[in-house]
Chains A and B, each alone.
Chain A
């Protein structure tokens, strides 16, 4: 990455070249998004004539309205609206819990200087490399045994547990760089491990909390597989309903509605990135230097 200071020192040709490259890259990644955006406001007539890449003859928000409130997901024709609320109900607690447990885990592992701690960390890391699909069947059996399969509790539990290796790793690497004397000073003051974590350590972890929260938020919000399997019919997240709309076999396919629905599902993550982008970059950099 190049900071403005570096850009000023570069010869003019290089600056022009750099911006040209950046703009082309941005266009490359934005192109599919633009196609979806354009088609989501096209009337069906334009689409039937096969002009996916042209601008709409007239702009209509009807596909958005249909996608939001009247598109059919299977037998139910109330659009993607109920899924939004389900997704929020799943994502918010799952993010909060997985960030807090990850931070606590990471802090404990960073504090505990022993060979066992290193081995434990290694085992936790293995969790990162095993694909979800391989763990699905055992997880289904375990959750059935616990009586929370296809329930609201179940889906949150699964998201928290599947997220733990990642959140633990990120927090541990951050906390290894925090001077040990701060924790020891808190211990001298009589604070317990949990009190130290809550009053002293967590308040200085803002950057890494934001990074982990964003990663978890996007991961859980965009999740389809776990939501489909573990959430149960009453709690299906937006992504599952989106797929149902797109795959609905009744009536003619309506690409403009599908694209509007896809955009609706993506809006929350976009908002999160725009709002917290500054923290995100800062947190990533901190983690990189200190990890």
Chain B
């Protein structure tokens, strides 16, 4: 069994708290992506799981075995590093078999396993080369191969694609996902790239300042963000935010404009009067004639993106984005009405940012 549970993991450097009591339950065979900007503690968390770093308090269980104080090699896991970290003096073959050599695996078994993984990753032709003779993409394959060859079921990835160029990154992303489907390993994957998170993950943990803000399937993270941070961190362009006051009768008041929120599903069904922020994705807004929609705004400029277009409009000095077809964008008037799809919108508390 290779489920992972992280129990109240805390880490501090002097006065600086890197991780505040992180909790996570990862089921066997799951592909979990930890998503966050640099400095949010995601790499530290991964290193703690790997055993390369220690935590101040908390407990790590892998397959129901407490591994908190075990050496990395005793944790039944393997890791792919951002810079590949291949051993420069060894051939690809020895890079793959080094871990098994250390573990005194018999030669015949080592060779069989290396051959199998090399075939899986299509690096058979490279086995006798040194890392310096490989391209970036090939090195990354070897690094993944090294993790797989010894792995018994858990693989950790520390931003493995960030050193590749855009095209290779897309290809490797697809392959990695396919590999996961074929092998059924539990994978824990750290990245700052939300496209990687959205496309590969079974579940995404969004981290911010040492806390897990939300841990949910990617589509849920996108559609029902748990708080304002997650809403604004995930999605491009950034989610549109309109600040107002939530009145007792269920409408959002922005000056003299009232947006009726009866179509919105509040959490717990309650809606106490308070300052709130309405957040809507650019594709959940429809352009209607002025005064016919929820609000009326002035067109600022239009970006044509090829497949579709983004119209940027000004509302009370704030810029909002609306996604639409290219033809529609070309025909826009200087004043437009905006109709929100409230079933897909989110409302957040202004004070602490949590979802209402």
Contacts and interface: CB of A to CB of B under 8 A. Distances in A.
Are A and B physically bound partners? Answer: yes
Interface of A: 179, 181-182, 184-191, 195, 199-200, 203-204
Interface in B69-90: 71-73, 78-79, 81-83, 85-90
Nearest to B88: A204
A179 B85 contact: yes
Interface stretch (B95-103, B223-231, B285-293): B95-103
A179 B102 contact: no
B11 interface: no
11 contacts: A179-B85, A181-B83, A184-B81, A185-B79, A186-B87, A188-B99, A189-B102, A189-B146, A190-B72, A203-B89, A203-B90
B83 A190 contact: no
B203 interface: no
Contacts of B89: 200, 203-204
B345 interface: no
Given A181-B81, A184-B52, A199-B98, A189 B88 contact: no
B281 interface: no
A195 B88 contact: no
Given A181-B81, A199-B98, A188 B87 contact: no
A279 to B, nearest CB: 16
B82 A181 contact: yes
Contacts of B79: 185, 188
B280 interface: no
B99 A182 contact: no
A4 to B, nearest CB: 25
Contacts of B139: none
Contact of A190 (B52, B81, B86, B102): B102
Given A179-B85, A181-B83, A187 B52 contact: yes
Contacts of A190: 71-73, 99, 102-103
Given A187-B72, A188-B72, A182 B103 contact: no
Contacts, number: 59
Contact of A185 (B71, B85, B102): B85
Nearest to B79: A188
Given A185-B79, A191-B99, 5 more contacts: A181-B82, A184-B85, A186-B98, A200-B89, A200-B90
Given A184-B81, A185-B87, A195 B102 contact: yes
A203 B91 CA distance: 12
Contacts of A199: 87, 98
Q: Give the most central of A184, A189, A203: most B CB within 10 Å.
A: A189
Given A199-B98, A204-B88, A204-B89, A189 B150 contact: yes
A182 B50 contact: no
A276 B52 CA distance: 39
B117 to A, nearest CB: 14
Please classify how large the interface on chain B is, using the bins under 10, 10 to 19, 20 to 34, 35 or more. 20 to 34
B52 A188 contact: yes
A184 B51 CA distance: 10
Nearest to A205: B89
A179 B163 CA distance: 15
Q: Give the most central of A179, A185, A186, A187: most B CB within 10 Å.
A: A185
B96 to A, nearest CB: 10
Contacts of B98: 186, 189, 191, 199-200
Contacts of A204: 88-89
Interface in B190-249: none
B99 A189 contact: yes
Contacts of B146: 185, 189
Contacts of A189: 73, 98-99, 102, 146, 150
Contacts of B85: 179, 181-182, 184-185
Contacts of B150: 189
Contacts of B71: 187, 190
Contacts of A186: 87, 98
A45 B90 CA distance: 63
8 cross-chain pairs, A with B, having the tightest CB-CB distances, nearest first? A190-B73, A189-B99, A203-B89, A181-B85, A185-B85, A181-B81, A190-B102, A188-B79
A191 B72 contact: no
A195 B83 CA distance: 22
B107 to A, nearest CB: 16
Interface in B48-79: 50, 52, 71-73, 78-79
Contacts of B86: 182, 185
Contacts of B88: 182, 204
A31 B52 CA distance: 59
B149 to A, nearest CB: 10
Nearest to A190: B73
Contacts of A185: 79, 81, 85-87, 146
Contacts of A191: 73, 98-99, 102
Contact of B83 (A179, A187, A203): A179
Contacts of B73: 187-191
Contacts of B99: 188-191
Contacts of A187: 52, 71-73
A186 B103 CA distance: 12
A91 to B, nearest CB: 27
B161 to A, nearest CB: 15
